[in-house]
Structure 1
């Protein structure tokens, strides 16, 4: 039987259509993925350079508060840094010279210096109007209303540099650009402008988030499909997941996979799902290396399943990030101190002869004529003093 072209296209589209409904019909599981610091280096201790203006100081203060709260890095107290700068006459301007950096490195020990400069933070206020037309459902008459809008905007630009105090090398630098705005609208006269402080807060929060991702590991949540079919205990495993019992969900998923290998009387779609669900639980536990072969097995059994394709890619990405984080940890670990070298062996100093023995040798030298009487008497007097 020959199919018309439209009918053939419908049949070809059925698997994609089924996958679309699978994504909608099945629940989602949240998995956390951790990224390494953007610098590619874990910094244990840092100090903020003196800020040249109030805006830069505000951003540096906000960063300091979050870094201290994270507990992942030690921040040198600003008062201590200012005291060091003043005592050493290094200046307190926003510009830090290379010679100053070298001196700070010796005074503060192994640290990074964060230099924050807000170059531009310009507020502006604008207004706009717009006619909006609608139909009154009672009178069926057209209604025209004028919407007035007051807008507060900010043109924000900043730079951040992270410098190794021990070498003066720039670890990394980032330029932060943002143009946030807030809007108030009204159909009855002009509304008040949104507060300047609220718009500034938006820009500073965005800038702060970008800088923290340079300095610290950070996590994000991904949502992946989990199948809750009644076959092979998938629904019970999902109930355990919802209750936050990953261990219980893992046990049920492992049992379900074993059942799927023994029971070949179910619909074909359930067998790759048993592998996939177990892989997702391993993924949620952060066991990416264990999850990867399970997700690959699911995809091998159903290569056209976009759900399986997406999950496998997410797991591969998470594994790559985990490896990157390990490399960061390895690079940041302090080098092992070399074992102290044994002191070179030295010849033992000869024991000093007693005064009696020295007197005896002195007399022998005198009798042999090797010392005159004056020398003999002088040496003898020295030895007798010791007695």
Structure 2
């Protein structure tokens, strides 16, 4: 009796796995371009003024590199710019007031200036331990833990050099921790400089996303079903970037199964994804809504909401390009 019960449990588990595999989803990493928080269209040139505080030199260098890599702006060389301004008794040092900014703008044309300060650049470390006794040997071992945390807070401003007006102010902060463990003796020191570097990198990345469009990869789940091989075929085409063939496969699935007993909502959903990530938003909405009509699942409702956000993002991107 016990063996029969165990066999039934194993058989049920195998059948569950089979159903799960037969009706599952496959994930795909897709690049998506997002708009910046601030519209800096028209500002082809950008300069970095004074950033004060501990760690400011490293942050300035890393921000300059990020601006250059973005290929969005012509990054003005600070030393060359200072030399030009010096000839006119002007300077970017300190907090730029409106009248100074306008004078600078007359010399270098339409440009934006970034400046600010680092208000927090701190590191803290916590060393703790606990004693554990081995039940067999009765020996007590002291286990050590050393946790280090770096925290950086920076306030950055963007100024229009043509008018002296502040375009944006951002307060950015990041804390980064690392922990080391050791038995008997105390663990080695945590590399606080590496933690500070990670904090600055995060702050620069967040700030760049505020002033320039950026591309990130998003994980998207496509529906698959062994009874509808066209779904897997379409996914395979999307995986190699051939969206036209992917859409054709999903369209074939819709036509083939829409009058049958299979869950054609999956085909409509995949087709909607194909249209959404090729910026054919009207067709995407039609297919997401058809999927939702067939089966009112939360993921189809969420897909429509994501589509609405994507439409708004594309509108803002168009304004910024």
TM-score bin (small chain): 0.7 to 0.9
Residues in 1 aligned to 2:121 and 2:309: alpha-carbon distance in whole angstroms: 37
Q: Deviations over 1:125-171 (max 9, x none)?
A: 331123457x77xx5x7876432122332232211000111111111
- The correspondence of residues 210-249 of structure 1 with structure 2, limited to 5 A, is 210-229=206-225, 230-231=227-228, 233-249=230-246
Residues in 1 aligned to 2:243 and 2:140: alpha-carbon distance in whole angstroms: 57
- How much has 1:117 moved relative to structure 2? 1.5
Partner residue, 1:201: 197
Residues in 2 aligned to 1:84 and 1:160: alpha-carbon distance in whole angstroms: 24
Q: Which has the larger radius of gyration?
A: 1
Q: Secondary structure at the match of 1:250?
A: helix
When residues 142 and 176 of structure 1 are mapped into structure 2, their CA distance, relative to the original with a 3 A threshold, is farther
Could you tell me whether the CA contact under 8 Å between 2:34 and 2:215 is conserved in 1? Answer: yes
When residues 147 and 24 of structure 1 are mapped into structure 2, their CA distance, relative to the original with a 3 A threshold, is farther
When residues 23 and 231 of structure 1 are mapped into structure 2, their CA distance, relative to the original with a 3 A threshold, is closer
Residues in 2 aligned to 1:300 and 1:250: alpha-carbon distance in whole angstroms: 20
Could you tell me whether the CA contact under 8 Å between 1:34 and 1:318 is conserved in 2? Answer: no
- The correspondence of residues 361-380 of structure 1 with structure 2, limited to 5 A, is none
Residues in 2 aligned to 1:241 and 1:249: alpha-carbon distance in whole angstroms: 5
When residues 94 and 307 of structure 1 are mapped into structure 2, their CA distance, relative to the original with a 3 A threshold, is same
- How much has 1:290 moved relative to structure 2? 2.7
CA RMSD of aligned residues (A): 2.7
Could you tell me whether the CA contact under 8 Å between 2:97 and 2:164 is conserved in 1? Answer: no
Partner residue, 1:31: 30
TM-score (norm 1): 0.71
Could you tell me whether the CA contact under 8 Å between 2:98 and 2:165 is conserved in 1? Answer: no
Name the structure where strand makes up a greater proportion of residues.
Answer: 2
Partner residue, 2:11: none
- How much has 1:24 moved relative to structure 2? 8.5
Q: Which has the higher contact order (CA 8 A, sep 6+)?
A: 2
Could you tell me whether the CA contact under 8 Å between 1:113 and 1:162 is conserved in 2? Answer: yes
Residues in 2 aligned to 1:165 and 1:200: alpha-carbon distance in whole angstroms: 31
Residues in 1 aligned to 2:53 and 2:132: alpha-carbon distance in whole angstroms: 45
Residues in 2 aligned to 1:132 and 1:209: alpha-carbon distance in whole angstroms: 43
Work out whether 1:315 is the aligned partner of 2:307.
Answer: yes
Q: Secondary structure at the match of 1:27?
A: strand
Aligned residues: 302
Residues in 2 aligned to 1:245 and 1:142: alpha-carbon distance in whole angstroms: 65
Unpaired segments ≥5 residues, structure 2: 1-15
- How much has 1:188 moved relative to structure 2? 2.8
Could you tell me whether the CA contact under 8 Å between 1:23 and 1:225 is conserved in 2? Answer: no
- How much has 1:196 moved relative to structure 2? 2.2
Residues in 1 aligned to 2:153 and 2:236: alpha-carbon distance in whole angstroms: 48
Q: Secondary structure at the match of 1:50?
A: strand
Could you tell me whether the CA contact under 8 Å between 1:151 and 1:193 is conserved in 2? Answer: no
Q: Secondary structure at the match of 2:151?
A: strand
When residues 112 and 54 of structure 1 are mapped into structure 2, their CA distance, relative to the original with a 3 A threshold, is same
Q: Deviations over 1:316-341 (max 9, x none)?
A: 21112112222334xxxxxxxxxxxx
When residues 24 and 195 of structure 1 are mapped into structure 2, their CA distance, relative to the original with a 3 A threshold, is farther
